[in-house]
C-alpha cells in the first residue's frame, strides 16, 4: 500500500509527510475519503487531464482502472470505509487481487494490511496476506515499524500467534526508537499474546 497511501499511523505515530516529489503533479487539496491520494502516476495525471474539474474520487477511479496498483489499493480502502455494501466489498476484493501483483513496497504493505486485518470479514484473505507478508519480509526495507505490524497481522490471520507476537514486538521496538505513540500497537500485541487476531484499520 511505500510511497504513501498512508505511510504511517497519522502524525502521532511519527509518519513523515509526503515529500514534494511524490505529490508535485497532484492538484492542491486532492484527497479521497480515507486520506491523501497515492503517489502520482501516469494514470493519475492522465485522469486529471481528462477530468480537470473532477474531485479526487474520480481521478482515483480512473487511475485504478488504468492499472495503477497504488490507486487500486487506495480505492479498495475507500470502498471499505464506512458501511460497505456487497457490491463495494466485491469491488474492493477485485482491486486488492489486482494490486497484489505489484512489486511496490507501498502497495504490498497496504494490500496485506487490508487482506489480513480489514474489519470487513468478506475482504479478508489470510493466505493472500501471508504471501504479501513474505514478500515484504524479504525486501530491502527493514526499518518501517508498520511493515512488522503487517507481518504480525498476517501471521495472526493464519493462527501463527507465536510469530505474530515476535513481529509485533519488533514493530513496537522500532516505533519506540522513532518516538512514535505505540498505544494502539500495544493493544494489538496483547491480542496476539492472547491468541486472538486483531481487526481494524491497521495502518491508521
Cβ-Cβ contacts under 8 Å for 54 (sequence gap 6 or more): 47, 48
pTM exceeds cut of 0.85 = no
Q: Is residue 1 part of a domain?
A: no
Classify residue 133: in a domain, yes or no: yes
Tell me if 105 is assigned to some domain: yes
Give the CATH number for residue 185.
1.25.40
Please give the C-alpha separations between residue 19 and each of 24, 48, 73, 107, 204, in angstroms, as whole numbers.
Answer: 9, 20, 20, 17, 19
Task: Using the predicted structure, report yes or no on whether residue 95 has a pLDDT greater than 70.
Answer: yes
The position carrying cell 527493514 is 142
Q: How many domains does the chain have?
A: 1
Q: Residue 6 domain-assigned?
A: no
Per-residue pLDDT reduced to its tens digit, 118-166: 999 999 999 999 999 999 999 999 999 999 999 999 999 999 999 999 9
Whole-angstrom CA distances from 136 to 8, 27, 34, 70, 167 are: 16, 31, 23, 16, 12
Look up the domain containing 164 and give its range.
11-193
CA dist 142 → 50, 81, 158 (Å) = 39, 29, 22
Q: Is residue 109 one of the residues assigned to a domain?
A: yes
Dmax (CA) for the chain in angstroms is 52
C-alpha to C-alpha distances, 22 to 1, 29, 127, 159, nearest whole angstrom? 14, 14, 31, 37
| Listed range (34-43, 144-153, 189-198) with the worst mean pLDDT | 34-43
Q: Indicate whether 200 belongs to any domain.
A: no
| Residue 67 domain flag | yes
Paired residues of 31 in beta bridges: 36
Q: Evaluate whether residue 198 is within a structural domain.
A: no
Spatial separation of the C-alpha atoms in residues 54 and 3, rounded to whole Å? 24
Amino acid at each position: 500500500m511505500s510511497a504513501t497511501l498512508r505511510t504511517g499511523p497519522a502524525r502521532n505515530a511519527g509518519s513523515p509527510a509526503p515529500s514534494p516529489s511524490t505529490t508535485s503533479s497532484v492538484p492542491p487539496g486532492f484527497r479521497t475519503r480515507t486520506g491523501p491520494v497515492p503517489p502520482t502516476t501516469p494514470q493519475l495525471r492522465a485522469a486529471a487531464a481528462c477530468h480537470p474539474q473532477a474531485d479526487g474520487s474520480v481521478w482515483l477511479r480512473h487511475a485504478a482502472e488504468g492499472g495503477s496498483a497504488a490507486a487500486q489499493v487506495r480505492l479498495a480502502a475507500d470502498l471499505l470505509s464506512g458501511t460497505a455494501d456487497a457490491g463495494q466489498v466485491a469491488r474492493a476484493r477485485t482491486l486488492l487481487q489486482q494490486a497484489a501483483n505489484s512489486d511496490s513496497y507501498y502497495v504490498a504493505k497496504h494490500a496485506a494490511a487490508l487482506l489480513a486485518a480489514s474489519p470487513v470479514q468478506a475482504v479478508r484473505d489470510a493466505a493472500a496476506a501471508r504471501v504479501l507478508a513474505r514478500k515484504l519480509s524479504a525486501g530491502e526495507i527493514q526499518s518501517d515499524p508498520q511493515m512488522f505490524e503487517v507481518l504480525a497481522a498476517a501471521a495472526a490471520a493464519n493462527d501463527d500467534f507465536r510469530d505474530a507476537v515476535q513481529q509485533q514486538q519488533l514493530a513496537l521496538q522500532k516505533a519506540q526508537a522513532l518516538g512514535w505513540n505505540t498505544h494502539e500497537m500495544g493493544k494489538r500485541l496483547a491480542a496476539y499474546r492472547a491468541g486472538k487476531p486483531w481487526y481494524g484499520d491497521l495502518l491508521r
